[in-house]
């Protein structure tokens, strides 16, 4: 994370400093939600869980080197104070902090979603971009309102690319995630039937995934996969006020990606270029 003082963080998340001896102390490490992952300079976010409460591990986090704890209540005592920033909602505060940090970065944010293939595609994109410069990406499939801020907050001033996976359990979820880390490039992989019971239907899933397209500011571009150009549940994406190229794995479905003429593979020197049929030479 970029270095921020506890005073700055409290202001950004609307929190109250509690038991902080020096408000100018800086958080220089990542934001973590597991006290076992704390390293010097971290900010430990105390989240309540189904089995354990992160507040119970606040002191352990400080002893491990955390600068402070982001908590929903004071976590120290008069005899053993624990420096904390107390907020009404820890998850919301993490999101607010992520938004503030991303706004200060000069990094390209790439966001992707879909019913399947998000994690592997995200990893592939990140590994490619890493060859061009420092890249931070979502660990595993940590793609919700907790995981996305954690991933974004691991970026620092040197980060050039931020590749984020966005998941959804209903409409409005991706819209919220996109407000935390506004993407410059978006990719919707597919719309399947996973979690269809939670959404109500495939068209509702498409609308939820399409929130990523709607989050892209002009003249940004999005990519999405649609089985045919006339698929009814692709309508919300076709109405997007910006170019949205589409592609499909099905035969005879046109691929519409402006400027693409082929693909280059570098398995070993020299590289091999495979042109697309009919592409201009």
Mean pLDDT of 84-113: 97
The pLDDT, as a whole number, for residue 103 is: 96
Which pLDDT tens digit goes with each residue over 218-238?
765 555 555 554 566 565 555
Tokens 């704390």 correspond to 38
CA atoms of 4 and 2, how far apart (whole Å):
6
Q: What is the domain partition of the chain in residue ranges?
A: 4-88, 105-272
Which carries the bigger pLDDT value, residue 189 or residue 103?
103
CA atoms of 13 and 11, how far apart (whole Å):
6
CA atoms of 202 and 192, how far apart (whole Å):
7
Its CATH architecture, for the domain 4-88, is 3-Layer(aba) Sandwich (3.40)
In the predicted model, is pLDDT for residue 175 greater than 60?
yes
pLDDT band (50, 70, 90) for residue 202: confident
pTM score, whole prediction: 0.80
Radius of gyration over every alpha carbon of the chain, rounded to an integer in angstroms: 21
The pLDDT, as a whole number, for residue 273 is: 58
Its CATH architecture, for the domain 105-272, is 3-Layer(aba) Sandwich (3.40)
State how far Cα 68 lies from the chain centre.
23
Which pLDDT tens digit goes with each residue over 115-124?
888 999 999 9
| Nearest residue to 100 via CA among 11, 194, 185, 205 | 11
The pLDDT, as a whole number, for residue 189 is: 85
Which pLDDT tens digit goes with each residue over 239-277?
555 555 555 555 544 444 444 455 554 444 555 556 655
The pLDDT, as a whole number, for residue 18 is: 96
CA separation, residue 248 to residues 105, 226, 256 (Å): 34, 6, 9
């Amino acid at each position: 994370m970029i270095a921020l003082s506890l005073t700055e963080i409290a202001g950004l998340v609307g929190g109250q400093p509690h038991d902080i001896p020096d408000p100018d102390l800086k958080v220089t490490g990542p934001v973590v939600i597991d006290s076992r992952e704390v390293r010097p300079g971290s900010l430990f976010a105390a989240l309540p869980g189904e089995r354990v409460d992160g507040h119970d591990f606040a002191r352990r986090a400080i002893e491990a080197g955390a600068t402070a704890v982001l908590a929903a209540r004071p976590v120290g005592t008069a005899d053993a104070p624990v420096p904390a920033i107390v907020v009404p909602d820890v998850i919301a505060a993490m999101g607010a902090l992520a938004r503030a940090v991303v706004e200060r970065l000069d990094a390209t944010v790439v966001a992707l979603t879909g019913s399947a293939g998000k994690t592997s595609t995200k990893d592939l994109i990140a590994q490619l971009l890493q060859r061009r410069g420092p890249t931070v990406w979502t660990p595993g499939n940590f793609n919700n309102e907790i995981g996305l801020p954690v991933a974004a907050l691991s970026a620092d001033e040197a980060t050039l690319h931020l590749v984020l996976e966005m998941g959804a359990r209903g409409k409005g979820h991706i819209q919220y995630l996109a407000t935390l880390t506004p993407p410059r490039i978006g990719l919707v992989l597919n719309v399947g039937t996973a979690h269809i019971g939670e959404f109500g239907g495939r068209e509702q899933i498409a609308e939820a995934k399409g929130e990523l397209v709607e989050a892209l500011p002009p003249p940004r571009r999005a990519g999405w996969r649609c089985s045919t150009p006339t698929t009814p549940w692709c309508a919300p994406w076709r109405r997007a006020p910006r170019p949205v190229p589409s592609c499909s794995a099905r035969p005879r479905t046109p691929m519409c990606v402006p400027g693409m003429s082929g693909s280059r593979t570098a398995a070993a020197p020299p590289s091999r270029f495979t042109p697309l049929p009919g592409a201009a030479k």
